[in-house]
Chains A and B, each alone.
Chain A
């Protein structure tokens, strides 16, 4: 196996650790005094982590010139979606136990939940069209569609920001990371255009 192949498998295994830790915590009754809140927090944060990691692939590839890194992007993106699904199911099943009326009013009345739901709906088509067949079928439109991930990352960070009461240190860090990652793209695009013009 190549070094890159090993890296891929290591990342895959590491990505399952948060889910495994939650299962282990549930079995040993060790998920704090408020397990539902804890599971919600962990799955949400892990989803945001993988969403952000998926956005580091392109800058890393540009900076290092190592094109094989692109092969990590889909895996990281799908893990973001996997944890977003766990996050949403925690809310539907554990938090509200299928009380759809209350959930619907929360989506409408609570801006942070509106944005959480928006983020999920933005990620959904990206996950569906992540297969090789879909990439081929959509062609150029695939890239256009997958730019939605920038929007999803923004709504995800604001969703986190709005749920925090007073201690904004953590959401601030995520916002900073996202600004750097999106800023890099803007800078790179501008630079390429200027270079091609001259």
Chain B
């Protein structure tokens, strides 16, 4: 990443403001002038900081209706379920500040043409970043509208070339209790694991997000890279991914292991199938007072319903 051509970089991006403002600290910690100079030519690789503006994000056709107002940046980045940083909704923001999502590598393994480790920047580089405005419905009965920045998962999978026998994709979160203090307690089985059927992963709605609100993903939202599958409950959106495995058997996801009666593999948003402990018929959009009716597949039925035709969604919840 240090030999990236400087001509690719717009003038304004050569030294990001955040890095520039922290230059004294940076020079103090840098081993020497050469390293510092090289790092300045590769700002996105050296240190992607929370809140750093992402360059060249194109708008997409994936926007929401006028009735779905974007949630505030503070809500999106201050009200999170990310048990690796604590179980209270405010914990991730408080406890993830020191987490550094660089360097970061992603291992690709299993039924795939070329298993390999990728640096995060090399992993993302082939794809154009696009903004996807999606509804997010949490299994706990609240929801938000979030402008993600990400890359289509289907494009990533096509480039990785899974073998024909690969029928599922399994994702794994970083397992590092030193950096993720929530993992020091056995509240869930660590590391967090999630999975998708191959056709779900290839659905155009599925993305790997690297940003939100046009900026690099804050740590508490799953930096540096996370899954977003908007027709499923939020817990399917695994954060801080370090491993992608192609497999021929259905992965067991973390919440299913934790409480198999309550959380299934599919976890499609479904107002007719209630969670044993609460109704899924309605939801509260953060920022609103009255409950809304929850929509089948979170309102994305047109794009995803055909994948489940003939399936008993009560059994496969």
A56 → chain B closest CB, angstroms: 27
| Cβ A32 vs Cβ B90 within 8 A | yes
Q: How far is the CA of A163 from the CA of B140 in the complex (A)?
A: 10
Chain A residues close to B by CB (< 8 Å): 32-34, 36-37, 94-97, 99, 102, 105-106, 109-112, 162-163, 165-167, 169
Between-chain CB contacts (< 8 Å), 10 pairs = A33-B72, A33-B78, A33-B79, A33-B287, A34-B89, A36-B289, A94-B289, A99-B291, A166-B87, A169-B185
| Complex interface: chain B residues within 8 A of A106 (CB) | 278-279
* Closest B residue, CB atoms, query A97: B290
A32, A33, A96, A163: the one within 8 Å of B277 (CB):
A163
| Complex interface: chain B residues within 8 A of A165 (CB) | 140, 259
| Complex interface: chain A residues within 8 A of B79 (CB) | 32-34
B74, B187, B258, B279: the one within 8 Å of A33 (CB):
B74
Cβ-based interface call for B282 (8 A): yes
Q: How far is the CA of A157 from the CA of B251 in the complex (A)?
A: 35
A166 and B83 in contact, given A33-B75, A34-B142, A111-B277 (Cβ under 8 angstroms) = yes
The 8 A-B pairs at the shortest CB distance, nearest first, are namely: A33-B79, A167-B87, A33-B75, A167-B187, A33-B286, A166-B187, A166-B258, A34-B286
Q: How far is the CA of A165 from the CA of B74 in the complex (A)?
A: 25
B93 → chain A closest CB, angstroms: 11
Q: How far is the CA of A110 from the CA of B87 in the complex (A)?
A: 23
Q: How far is the CA of A169 from the CA of B281 in the complex (A)?
A: 30
Cβ-based interface call for B203 (8 A): no
| Cβ B286 vs Cβ A96 within 8 A | no
Q: How far is the CA of A33 from the CA of B286 in the complex (A)?
A: 6
Given A33-B75, A34-B286, A167-B83, 16 more A-B residue pairs with CB atoms under 8 Å apart are A32-B79, A32-B89, A33-B71, A33-B78, A33-B89, A33-B286, A33-B287, A34-B89, A96-B291, A102-B282, A110-B277, A163-B277, A165-B259, A166-B83, A166-B188, A167-B185
* Most central of A32, A97, A169 by chain B CB within 10 Å: A32
Q: How far is the CA of A33 from the CA of B72 in the complex (A)?
A: 9
Cβ-based interface call for B274 (8 A): yes
| Complex interface: chain A residues within 8 A of B258 (CB) | 166
| Complex interface: chain A residues within 8 A of B274 (CB) | 109
Q: How far is the CA of A162 from the CA of B279 in the complex (A)?
A: 15
* Closest A residue, CB atoms, query B144: A33
* Most central of A105, A163, A166 by chain B CB within 10 Å: A166
State how many residues of chain B have any CB contact under 8 Å with chain A.
29
| Cβ A110 vs Cβ B78 within 8 A | no
B contact patch SS: loop
| Complex interface: chain A residues within 8 A of B287 (CB) | 33
Cβ-based interface call for B53 (8 A): no
| Complex interface: chain B residues within 8 A of A167 (CB) | 83, 87, 185, 187
CB 8 Å contact bits of B271-314 with A (1 = contact, 0 = none): 00010011101101011011100000000000000000000000
B90 → chain A closest CB, angstroms: 7
* Most central of A96, A112, A165 by chain B CB within 10 Å: A165
Q: How far is the CA of A71 from the CA of B204 in the complex (A)?
A: 67
| Complex interface: chain B residues within 8 A of A96 (CB) | 291
Q: How far is the CA of A88 from the CA of B181 in the complex (A)?
A: 35
A67 → chain B closest CB, angstroms: 41
A171 → chain B closest CB, angstroms: 12
Q: How far is the CA of A162 from the CA of B83 in the complex (A)?
A: 19
CB 8 Å contact bits of B252-282 with A (1 = contact, 0 = none): 0000001100000000000000100111011
Q: How far is the CA of A18 from the CA of B142 in the complex (A)?
A: 25
| Complex interface: chain A residues within 8 A of B281 (CB) | 102
| Complex interface: chain A residues within 8 A of B140 (CB) | 165
B48 → chain A closest CB, angstroms: 25
From 80 to 104 in chain B, residues with beta carbon under 8 angstroms from any chain A beta carbon are 83, 87, 89-90
| Complex interface: chain A residues within 8 A of B90 (CB) | 32
A160 → chain B closest CB, angstroms: 13
Q: How far is the CA of A158 from the CA of B287 in the complex (A)?
A: 30
* Closest B residue, CB atoms, query A168: B187
| Complex interface: chain A residues within 8 A of B78 (CB) | 33
A190 → chain B closest CB, angstroms: 37
| Complex interface: chain B residues within 8 A of A166 (CB) | 83, 87, 187-188, 258-259
| Complex interface: chain B residues within 8 A of A37 (CB) | 142
B188 → chain A closest CB, angstroms: 6
Q: How far is the CA of A81 from the CA of B142 in the complex (A)?
A: 28
| Cβ A34 vs Cβ B284 within 8 A | yes
Q: How far is the CA of A82 from the CA of B76 in the complex (A)?
A: 34
B105 → chain A closest CB, angstroms: 29
* Closest A residue, CB atoms, query B76: A33
Q: How far is the CA of A52 from the CA of B290 in the complex (A)?
A: 33
| Complex interface: chain B residues within 8 A of A94 (CB) | 289
